């Protein structure tokens, strides 16, 4: 959670100069530990091309991973975000995003 909070501080310029590239780094650290809010925020930055080059399959990967935690209004909003992203993607980009998210899940299960 602390890594995610640092990402928010850098993304929003809260107590530090706003820096999307720095936010990406902190979000990634938290997202790789399966922290759902960080996965969503990381996906949204990839979708918008903020702090990184726009990468829709990578955005799909992280937003899709954020949906592994179900429940509540937040889940519905994450799901809606993914559906909006899918509407902008080509079929091969969606397939690549699925491949990346499944690879992440397999890597986590193997403990690597």
pLDDT of the residue at 72: 78
Query: Whose CA is closest to 47, among 88, 8, 10?
Result: 88
Instruction: For 21-57, give one letter per residue: b (16+ CB within 10 A) or e.
Output: ebbbbbbbbbbbeebbbbbbbbbbbbbeeebbeebbb
pLDDT of the residue at 74: 87
- Whole-structure pTM value: 0.93
pLDDT of the residue at 111: 78
SS3 of 55, please? coil
| Per-residue model confidence as pLDDT tens digits over 51-106 | 999 999 999 999 999 998 877 788 999 999 999 999 999 999 999 999 999 999 99
Q: Could you give the domains of the chain?
A: 2-110 (1.25.40.10)
């Amino acid at each position: 959670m602390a890594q995610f909070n640092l990402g928010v501080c850098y993304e929003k310029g809260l107590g530090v100069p706003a820096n999307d590239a720095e936010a990406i780094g902190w979000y990634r650290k938290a997202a790789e530990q399966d922290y759902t809010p960080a996965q969503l925020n990381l996906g949204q930055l990839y979708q918008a091309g903020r702090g990184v080059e726009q990468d829709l399959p990578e955005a799909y990967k992280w937003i899709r991973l954020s949906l592994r935690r179900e429940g509540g209004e937040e889940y519905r909003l994450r799901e809606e975000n993914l559906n909006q992203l899918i509407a902008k993607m080509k079929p091969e980009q969606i397939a690549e995003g699925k491949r990346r998210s499944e690879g992440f899940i397999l890597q986590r299960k193997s403990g690597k």
